[in-house]
Chain A
Amino acid sequence: MEKIPILRMGEFLLVTIQVDMHDRLAMGLQEDLTQMISDTEARGVLIDISSLEIVDSFIGRMLGNIAAMSRVLDAQTVVVGMQPAVAITLVELGLSLAGVRTALNVDAGMDLLRSAVKGSSDQYGASLN
């Protein structure tokens, strides 16, 4: 079966979506990522959508679900690289992507992940005291 590859980089998982996904492929990614976060105890997920030419409500829902599920598993999700035309269209479609963190590019996304993960472990440490 066709799959979107998930790369492991230390405590983070990296996904680069490079194809126009049919819906089942998107659902598969959601399931695979959840499984992988749990298996590897990853602290963050970075999803690069710079190759995506559109984000419709189905992909939007998938991104929201991934963010929500990773939160439950104590990992942060950042979506990076959304094309400007996609962003404009998304707003008109009415997709808010509430709960999904975004960054302009992979570098900025990695910075955001690192500080978010650091922030959440500081918080955890503080609550133990």
Chain B
Amino acid sequence: MALLSTENLPIKAEIDVVAVRRRVRELATKLGFTLVDQTKIVTAASELARNTMIYGGGGSMQAETLNGPRTGLRLIFKDNGPGIPDIELALRDGFTTGSGLGLGLGGTRRLVNEFEISSRIGAGTTVTITRWK
């Protein structure tokens, strides 16, 4: 798989979540995603960026554009926060330890083609999503 470009965006404050949405939209547009696919990946990025900020205590998003054989956008959200004790539970619709709707993780998984999460208590969380064109 060929990596076209890679870049890193910080996620420290609410305004960074807006910047993440904007940049993911730009990249998805550049890759020629349909409007619906753009909307899906931007929405997923918004959910994960907010989790990184609120629950992870801040972190970053790495964005990779891919081509050959397939064109796609891969986003890696990383933080060094408290980690997720029970990932299966966290993925369940409606589960939240905050004041959200508990749809961020479960909903994101439905919006993308590939979804990977790894988390260690006290060490942090990494969520990787990919949407193919």
Chain A interfacial positions (CB closer than 8 Å to B): 20, 22-24, 53-58, 60-61, 83, 85-86, 88-89, 92-95
User: Which applies to chain B's interface (DSSP): helix, strand, loop or mixed?
Assistant: helix
Residue of B nearest to A23 (CB): B14
A56 to B45, CA, bound (A): 10
User: Which applies to chain A's interface (DSSP): helix, strand, loop or mixed?
Assistant: helix
A22 to B47, CA, bound (A): 12
Query: Does the CB pair B36–A93 fall under 8 Å?
Result: no
Residue of A nearest to B15 (CB): A22
Chain B interfacial positions (CB closer than 8 Å to A): 14-15, 17-18, 21-22, 25, 35-36, 38-40, 42-43, 46-47, 50, 93, 100-101, 103-104, 106-108, 110-111
Residues of chain A contacted by B39 (CB below 8 angstroms): 53-54, 83, 85-86, 88-89
A36 to B17, CA, bound (A): 28
Query: Does the CB pair B107–A57 fall under 8 Å?
Result: yes
Query: Does the CB pair B35–A85 fall under 8 Å?
Result: yes
Query: Does the CB pair A56–B106 fall under 8 Å?
Result: no
What is the minimal beta-carbon distance from A44 to any residue of chain B, in angstroms? 25
A23 to B18, CA, bound (A): 9
Query: Does the CB pair B46–A56 fall under 8 Å?
Result: yes
A-B contact pairs, 18 of them (CB 8 A): A22-B15, A22-B17, A23-B14, A24-B14, A53-B25, A54-B39, A54-B43, A56-B43, A57-B103, A60-B101, A85-B36, A88-B39, A89-B36, A92-B110, A93-B108, A93-B111, A95-B101, A95-B103
Residues of chain A contacted by B111 (CB below 8 angstroms): 89, 92-93
